[in-house]
Amino acid sequence: MKINPSFSSIIYSYRQSALSKRSTSRRLVAWVEDHRLRTGPAKAIVFILPTRGCSWALSRSGGCSICGYLYDNPQKPDFSEMLSDFSSKLSSLIDPSLSYSIKLFTSGSILDSLEVPKQVLISILHELQPYSSSIKELVLESRPSYVTEEKLTLLRDHFDIAKVEIAIGLESANNAILRDSINKGFFWEDFERATKRVFSFGAKIKAYLLFKPPFVSEFDSILDIFNSVKQVVSLGVDTVSINAINIQRGTYLSSLFEKNFYRPPYLWSLVHICQELSTLYPNLRIICDPVAGGKKRGAHNCGSCDSAIVQALKDFTLSQDPSILQDLPSCPCKLEWKSYLLHSKLNNNDFFSLSF
Ligand code: SF4
Ligand SMILES: [Zn+2]
């Protein structure tokens, strides 16, 4: 399967006009947050490494229709500054008596050598070594094409590979959605191959699934999440992150939103998805912590019930206890959500039918 050239050229033109606002000076940022380890609630230290940004977004194909991360990446990264910032933030944020997930993000792919040269990656892994007993998971985000035997060997040589989790933004297992809604630039088969490679090294996979990409109705996207989870679970993946759209500036999706052609998803849909998935897959780790939840550009309901539902989703993510989602306060907007779903079901588009 190939990308859709006319769609990707539209995205490329949006990308070019937004790139003029790209940051030139951002340094490494890091913070501590709550996190659900496979074994229970804990903390995560998240690092956003200031690389040149996602090669797919920088390419003539324009990158993904929903993604504006590139605008925060510096044009000329300074790797020695990055490493010294990494070292000092790590030592100041970590408490060696606690358990952590370390998340290494670049707003792109950390396994892409154009973003993070091999020697820099090795240096980062060496910085983590003194804390290895506290680090229960090491999460590395990457597109599947960079998850090569060579990179997995490097990880195995410099860290405990059983703790490594490769997080891949699959978004959907439906190739039509990947091509004509997201312009993802890879397909289900690429994810499948990368997953098998990762498993053969004894590492783990987390699949990010995107809820409500452009042109996919709320109803169809719920079905697509269920279908995508079924497919990733069939490969042996034990963790999914259900990522509701948040509308990032300078993206193709943002242009649809600004013209009133797109409504971000309802939080009620996320509650429904998490409830159904936790019943269907009791051993699956389900992460659902919507970015900009309750805000205009993120998943939201009516405004008055949003904060309670966002908090319930966070609590569910940490505890994996679905009963939290059963005891939510009722709100009149739930009826509005149901009629919106019914309307979107009646106005079915082609994406879902193409997947079967
Ligand atoms: S979503 Fe990921 S792969 Fe797509 S453009 Fe953004 S960083 Fe790159
Ligand atoms: Zn409400």
Q: Give the model confidence (pLDDT) of 143-187 as tens digits.
A: 999 999 999 999 999 999 999 999 999 999 999 999 999 999 999
Centre of ligand 1 to C-alpha 50, Å, is: 15
pLDDT band at 296 (very low <50, low <70, confident <90, very high): very high
Share of residues in the chain with pLDDT > 90 (%): 90
Parse the chain into domains and list their residue ranges. Answer: 5-354
* Residues 69, 72, 76, 81, Cα dihedral to 10°: -110
Distances (CA, A) of 246 to 52, 262, 304: 22, 11, 19
Cα separation, 227 vs 224, in Å, equals 5
pLDDT of residue 351: 55
Centre of ligand 1 to C-alpha 185, Å, is: 9
pLDDT band at 355 (very low <50, low <70, confident <90, very high): very low
Closest approach atom of ligand 1 to CA 56: 8
pLDDT of residue 9: 93
Share of residues in the chain with pLDDT > 70 (%): 97
Cα separation, 71 vs 24, in Å, equals 9
pLDDT of residue 349: 59
Degrees (nearest 5) of the Cα angle 343, 263, 326? 70
Cα separation, 176 vs 89, in Å, equals 42
pLDDT of residue 356: 31
Asked whether residue 91 carries a pLDDT value surpassing 90, the answer given is yes
For residues 324 and 315, is the Cβ–Cβ distance under 8 A? yes
Q: At what angle do helices 149-158 and 188-200 cross, to 10 degrees?
A: 40
Determine which residue's CA is closest to atom 8 belonging to ligand 1: 54
Residue range 109-129: average pLDDT?
Answer: 98
Centre of ligand 2 to C-alpha 305, Å, is: 4
pLDDT of residue 65: 97
User: Does 69 contact ligand 1 (Cβ within 6 A)?
Assistant: yes
Asked whether residue 327 carries a pLDDT value surpassing 90, the answer given is no
Q: Which two tokens stand for residue 299?
A: 């998943």
Q: Which two tokens stand for residue 228?
A: 């995508």
Distances (CA, A) of 271 to 171, 276, 282, 334: 18, 9, 16, 11
Cα separation, 93 vs 100, in Å, equals 11
Positive or negative, the CA dihedral 281, 282, 285, 288 is positive
User: Does 54 contact ligand 1 (Cβ within 6 A)?
Assistant: yes
Query: Which helix (H) or strand (E) element contains residue 310?
Result: helix 306-319
User: Does 62 contact ligand 1 (Cβ within 6 A)?
Assistant: no
Q: What φ, ψ does residue 147 adopt, rounded to 5°?
A: -85, 70
Residues in CB range of 283: below 8 A, 6 or more apart: 238
Number of H helices, E strands in the chain: 14, 8
Distances (CA, A) of 59 to 54, 72, 141, 221, 269: 9, 16, 19, 28, 34
Cα separation, 249 vs 272, in Å, equals 28
pLDDT of residue 24: 67
Reported residue count of the chain is 356
pLDDT of residue 346: 75
Q: Which two tokens stand for residue 246?
A: 């948040």
pLDDT of residue 74: 86
Q: Which two tokens stand for residue 90?
A: 């790590």
For residues 218 and 339, is the Cβ–Cβ distance under 8 A? no
Cα separation, 170 vs 176, in Å, equals 13
Residue range 280-309: average pLDDT?
Answer: 97
Asked whether residue 20 carries a pLDDT value surpassing 50, the answer given is yes
pLDDT band at 129 (very low <50, low <70, confident <90, very high): very high
Q: Counting ligands in written order, which one lies closest to the CA of residue 332?
A: 2
Residue range 32-45: average pLDDT?
Answer: 96
Asked whether residue 226 carries a pLDDT value surpassing 70, the answer given is yes
pLDDT of residue 23: 65
Cα separation, 70 vs 320, in Å, equals 32
Residue range 301-322: average pLDDT?
Answer: 97
Q: Give the mutation target among 67, 116, 142 for probing the ligand 1 site: most ligand atoms within 8 A of CB.
A: 67
Q: CATH number of the domain at 5-354, please?
A: 3.20.20.70
Asked whether residue 353 carries a pLDDT value surpassing 70, the answer given is no
Positive or negative, the CA dihedral 169, 316, 212, 220 is positive
Centre of ligand 2 to C-alpha 331, Å, is: 5
pLDDT of residue 75: 83
Query: Which helix (H) or strand (E) element contains residue 165?
Result: strand 164-171
Determine which residue's CA is closest to atom 4 belonging to ligand 1: 64
Asked whether residue 80 carries a pLDDT value surpassing 60, the answer given is yes
Residue range 328-334: average pLDDT?
Answer: 93
